[in-house]
Chains A and B, each alone.
Chain A
Amino acid sequence: MAKVLMKGNEAIAEAAIRSGCRHYFGYPITPQTEIAEYMAKRMPKIGGLCLQAESEIAAINMVLGASSAGVRVMTSSSSPGISLKSEGISYMVGSDLPCLILNVQRGGPGLGGIQPAQSDYYQATKANGHGDLHLIVLAPNSIQEAADCTSLAFDLGDKYRVPVMILADGALGQMMEPVEFSGNEKTELPEKPWATTGTGMKRKKNIINSLYMQPDELESSINERFKRYDVIEKNEVRYESYLAEDADIILVCYGITSRICKTAVGMARKEGIKAGIIRPITLWPYPKEALAKAAETASEFLVVELNKGQMTSDVKLAIECSRPVSFYGRTGGVMPTPEEILEQIRMIGGRIK
């Protein structure tokens, strides 16, 4: 199939449909409303459903119900809406229900703004809801990668029975780029013998539940889930390494910010400063080993994000504070220029000479 020019939000919606998703539940919020609008146009024509819920809370619980019924299902929102969904997300984790949750981030806290931000990093990677839990979190940096991550998200969710989040931002959602859908229309989806589809009087009842009144039973269920998390951490880490092998300065960045960093690194290289990038594609599981390995040869790390430095602690932990880690970021919807980032690289370059 040839490349088509699409908005990020629409590309994700189309990729979801091609991944076998026929059920979308959402609530309008800028800057991701195009997804609901795209789904509303497309779904009725292919026997699918796009339902506008009365709230984000209702939408995520409709997702919970649809996932219980064994279908591929997604919802999307932006930062304030994701906060509302956190109750349902926690219940879905506790009930081992897969789904795709897309967060096209905007500025916060509160109503914040409607311009791109990455200030939900903590929420996405550490606090998606109450309880001991993780989501797989994917952070694409192009429209193509956003489409590819959408397919991947459904597959990973079904494989490990976990909700998967795509953590995008307002820039990725709104900008247009060429995208090619690999053409692999999913026709055969994995069997879900655990789903509540009716017993047909042929099997014992299935129960979808996150409640355990006996502490030891709850602990066992959590331990079983964390064994799956161990497998995910072992097998599903994804990252991109760019000019990192010989780099003295490693920039750690994800999503739209990594595109600006790439330009800045190119400018630095021209000045003879050896800078490179390690870009986590999975924010959970986090590419700890790649960073630890880079710390063996690099002198310093620079984290760049559209927030006040939320990922810095993860980098410090991954490299066990063996190298200095500094941070540069803009927030509230302001994007840094390549020159601003280059200035940071120069400052680090100056002190490591």
Chain B
Amino acid sequence: MSKTVFDRPHSLSPVPFHYCPGCTHGIVHRLVAEVIDELGIEGRTVGIAPVGCSVFAYNYFECDMIEAPHGRAPAVATGVKRSRPENVVFTYQGDGDLAAIGTAETVHSATRGENITIIFINNAIYGMTGGQMAPTTILGQVTTTTPYGRQAAVQGCPVHVCEMLSTLDGTAYAERVSVDTPKNIIAAKKAIKKAFTNQIEKKGFSIVEVLSTCPTNWGLSPADALEWLRKNMMPVYPLGVYKDVDNVHKEEN
């Protein structure tokens, strides 16, 4: 007699990903889907896909999905959540989408304490357009638009999203995780689950920043990319919980 010990989560669509070999999007998609399954919320979840490598996320989740304009996912999520508060609404955004063109939407959905969940993929580069500088590109990092390495005096310094958002009163939860090792993947899943649970418990704006790899545009093998992430990204973007409060709308309750 056979017993299923490992299967595709129900809320992850049975279709192949378009992601490059070694890209960590697949891992994070699976973690999100596992969490949706475990919380039993697939039927009331609405996901918002960004513009960037994960633009096709609407093909990969079985819940209702919306594809938002570049950077605007938190505003779109606000519109959905404020119209139907019973829905669980999450956005899945990359660093260019969330921390460059969508900075205003990100910051202000946090200041309002929007009761939404944001999964933020930080791989320090623009993947979809072929390896340009991201707001999270680290100093010295070579990209196609920083061919001599990112210089503070020319291109400015990398943005620390969790640190920045944790200063805002509307942010209930901000944690930075990584998916470079099985241990970190387990921790990442725990954080993602908390970010969704927070929304169900009406705690307010929750964001999980996931340090991710882009072997293709980093020009590294998948294994070397993981090593590069540990060596170069983690010192700039330390893992950890940056904010975790009970309820951002206390005065109303």
Q: Closest residue of chain B to A202, judged by CB?
A: B43
**B163 on the A face (CB < 8 A):** no
The number of residues on chain B lying at the interface, defined by a beta carbon within 8 Å of a beta carbon of chain A, is 34
- Contact A58 B82, beta carbon cutoff 8 Å: no
Instruction: Judge if B65 is at the interface, Cβ distance under 8 Å.
Output: yes
Choose, from A135-143, A204-212, A251-259, A337-345, the stretch at the interface: A204-212
Specify which of B48, B65, B80, B108 lies most central, judged by the most chain A CB atoms within 10 Å of its CB: B80
Residue of A55, A197, A205 touching B84 (CB-CB under 8 A)? A197
Asked if A209 contacts B58 (CB within 8 A), the reply is yes
Bound Cα distance from A54 to B71, whole angstroms:
14
Stretch with Cβ within 8 A of B (4 or more), from A68-76, A110-118, A241-249: A68-76
- B62 in the interface (beta carbon within 8 A): yes
Given contacts A54-B105, A211-B55, contact A62 B66 (CB under 8 A): no
A66 interface contact, C-beta 8 A? yes
A69: nearest chain-B partner, CB-CB: B83
Contact of A214 with B by CB under 8 A: no
Give the size range of A's interface with the partner: 35 or more
Closest Cβ of chain A to B65, distance in Å, is 5
Query: Does B64 touch A at the CB level, under 8 Å?
Result: yes
Contact with A along B52-91 (1 / 0, CB 8 A): 0001001001111111110010011111111110110000
Contact A65 B80, CB 8 Å, known A198-B45, A201-B42, A207-B64: yes
Other than A57-B104, A205-B64, give 17 A-B pairs with Cβ distance below 8 A. A49-B82, A57-B105, A61-B79, A64-B66, A64-B72, A64-B79, A66-B82, A67-B79, A73-B79, A197-B87, A198-B45, A198-B63, A201-B43, A202-B43, A205-B62, A206-B64, A211-B67
The answer on a CB contact under 8 Å between B44 and A200 is: yes
Q: What is the chain A residue whose CB lies nearest that of B76?
A: A65
Q: Is B46 an interface residue (CB 8 A)?
A: yes
**A284 contacts the other chain (Cβ, under 8 Å)?**
no
Closest 6 CB pairs of A and B: A65-B79, A61-B75, A196-B64, A54-B108, A62-B79, A65-B76
| Interchain CB contact under 8 A, A199 and B63 | yes
Interface residues of B (CB under 8 A from A): 42-46, 48, 55, 58, 61-69, 72, 75-84, 86-87, 104-105, 107-108
Q: List 15 A-B contacts (CB under 8 A).
A: A51-B82, A57-B104, A58-B72, A58-B108, A59-B75, A61-B72, A62-B79, A65-B68, A65-B81, A67-B79, A91-B68, A198-B43, A201-B42, A207-B58, A211-B55
Residues of A within 8 A of B83 (CB): 23, 49, 65-66, 69-71, 73
- Contacting residues, chain A, for B66 (C-beta < 8 A): 64-65, 68, 95, 196, 207-209
Measured between alpha carbons, how far is A65 from B65 in the docked complex, in Å?
11
Q: Give the number of A-B contacts (CB < 8 Å).
A: 136
Residues of A within 8 A of B84 (CB): 69-71, 197-198
Cα(A202)–Cα(B42), bound, Å: 11
Q: Which residues of A contact B63 (CB under 8 A)?
A: 198-199, 205
Residues of chain B lying within 8 A (CB to CB) of residue A57: 72, 75, 104-105
Q: How far, in whole Å, are A73 and B82 apart by their CA atoms in the complex?
A: 11
Whole-angstrom distance between the Cβ of A81 and the nearest chain B Cβ? 15
A236 interface residue (CB < 8 Å to B):
no
Known: A58-B104, A199-B62, A205-B65. A65 touches B78 (CB 8 A): yes
Contacts of B48 in A (CB 8 A): 65
Interfacial residues of chain A within 198-228, with CB under 8 A of chain B in the complex: 198-202, 205-211
The contact of A62 among B45, B58, B82, by CB within 8 Å, is B82
Select B67's contact among A59, A200, A202, A210, beta carbons within 8 Å.
A210
Of all chain B residues, which has the CB nearest A68? B66
A contact residues around B45 at 8 Å (CB) = 198
Chain B residue contacts of A53, Cβ below 8 A:
75, 108
Residues in B with CB closer than 8 Å to A68 are: 46, 66, 76, 79-80
CB distance from A327 to the nearest CB of B (A): 37
Q: Chain B residues with Cβ under 8 A from A211's Cβ?
A: 55, 67
C-alpha spacing A241/B68, complex, angstroms: 43
